[in-house]
């Protein structure tokens, strides 16, 4: 992943420390600043994203020893607390003994006249807007399914079997060339975007980073396993209809077969995954641990709230005739 440019005092301190050897993190004693940072702002979200990336593929030029550095983990904990406290105050919609079921049921309601991002792209989106959307979403889709794999050892029985069955499909069902991460890289190539992992981090906005950071914070904490199952369910249940609209948008603007094919793959696969997730993953988890119902509902509600916030930010920028990225995407480099 390319080096990042700081977006505030917290991310500046973090990036400065990561340039040194682990164990020399006195500059990371920024708990007070982390506690005052905008929980949804660029500074906190970039800092969290960089902390989490140490647990995925690492950062170019950064010693792998930083992954478990105590001072870095202390800073990360302060940032996570700020983010989660804000989400718990802003996002919940469902509570009570049927919270999880009601949250999942709400996902199945498709508006006749939808106003979200996928509806806009289907009906009005131009090629440059679809390229921007693809560049933003690459921060997740180039590691698609990885964040949810954290929960596998924390589940048992039906929940574990169901989640692994869905993840198996996400990772290509034994065929590396069919892994969704690889299919997304091909989508980006089709749209003349750079498919390198993390390439568009500098272009990514805080609302987008927050959607990806939610997966990581829920996945890296066993105590939040119910939230990650709720997040997983929200993605799988809403993916098929949303992917159908994006595929239609790409067909309408004349995008190539790889770009259309990525979303077409999700239309079919996620329609099946929805049933497995509802019955086996969520159903199995709550049969084993009924006390996690509110956590599952929180995972669903936080996912929807952050996705709506991201959608509003993108549509607002486009409505002003501006780019939805911090910097417009350049064309992919020419092949040698």
pLDDT score recorded for residue 266: 86
Residue-wise DSSP of 173-195: TT-GGG-HHHHHHHHHHHTT---
H-assigned helices in 191-292: 206-220, 225-252, 257-276, 283-288
Q: Is 23 left (phi over 0), alpha (psi -120 to 50) or beta?
A: left
Q: For 254-277, what is each residue's pLDDT tens digit?
A: 999 999 999 998 887 767 788 899
Q: Full-prediction pTM beyond 0.75?
A: yes
CA distance to 47, 148, 286, per residue, from 171 (Å): 28, 12, 26
Per residue in 280-299, pLDDT (tens digit) is 999 999 999 999 999 999 99
- Cα separation, 64 vs 308, in Å, equals 35
Q: Where are the alpha helices (DSSP H) in the chain?
A: 9-18, 31-36, 42-53, 70-90, 99-107, 117-123, 127-141, 146-149, 157-170, 180-190, 206-220, 225-252, 257-276, 283-288, 293-319
Return the closest-CA partner of residue 152 out of 165, 170, 140: 165
Parts of the chain with a pLDDT under 70 = 1-3, 24-31, 112, 270, 329-336
User: What gap in Å lies between CA 332 and CA 256, rounded to an integer?
Assistant: 15
pLDDT of residue 265: 85
Rounded to 5°, angle at Cα 176 from 175 and 178: 70
d(CA 243, CA 263): 5
How far apart are the C-alpha atoms of 267 and 246, rounded to whole Å?
A: 10
C-alpha 296/C-alpha 228 separation (Å) is 7
**Selection from 320, 319, 315 nearest residue 136 by Cα:** 315
């Amino acid at each position: 992943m390319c080096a990042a440019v700081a977006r505030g005092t917290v991310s500046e301190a973090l990036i400065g420390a990561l340039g040194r050897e682990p164990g020399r993190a006195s500059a990371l004693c920024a708990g007070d600043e982390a506690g005052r940072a905008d929980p949804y702002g660029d500074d906190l979200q970039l800092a969290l994203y960089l902390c989490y990336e140490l647990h995925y593929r690492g950062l170019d030029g950064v010693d792998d020893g930083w992954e478990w550095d105590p001072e870095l983990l202390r800073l990360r904990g302060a940032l996570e607390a700020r983010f989660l406290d804000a989400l718990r105050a802003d996002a919940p919609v469902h509570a009570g003994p049927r919270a999880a079921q009601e949250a999942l049921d709400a996902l199945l309601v498709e508006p006749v006249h939808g106003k979200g991002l996928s509806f806009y792209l289907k009906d009005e989106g131009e090629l440059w807007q679809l390229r921007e959307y693809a560049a933003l979403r690459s921060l997740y889709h180039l590691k698609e399914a990885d964040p949810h794999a954290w929960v596998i050892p924390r589940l048992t029985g039906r929940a574990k079997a169901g989640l692994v069955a869905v993840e198996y499909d996400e990772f290509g069902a034994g065929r590396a060339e069919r892994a969704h991460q690889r299919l997304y890289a091909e989508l980006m190539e089709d749209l003349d975007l750079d498919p390198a992992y993390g390439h568009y981090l500098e272009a990514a906005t805080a609302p987008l980073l927050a959607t990806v950071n939610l997966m990581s914070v829920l996945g890296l904490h066993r105590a939040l396993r119910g939230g990650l199952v709720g997040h997983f369910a929200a993605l799988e249940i809403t993916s098929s209809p949303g992917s159908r609209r994006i595929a239609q948008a790409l067909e309408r603007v004349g995008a190539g077969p790889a770009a259309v094919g990525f979303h077409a793959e999700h239309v079919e696969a996620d329609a099946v995954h929805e049933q497995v997730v509802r019955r086996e993953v969520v159903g199995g988890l709550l049969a084993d641990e009924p006390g996690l119902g509110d956590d599952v509902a929180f995972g669903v509600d936080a996912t929807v709230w952050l996705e709506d916030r991201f959608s509003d930010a993108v549509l607002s920028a486009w409505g002003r005739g501006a780019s939805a990225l911090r910097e417009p995407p350049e064309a992919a480099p020419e092949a040698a």
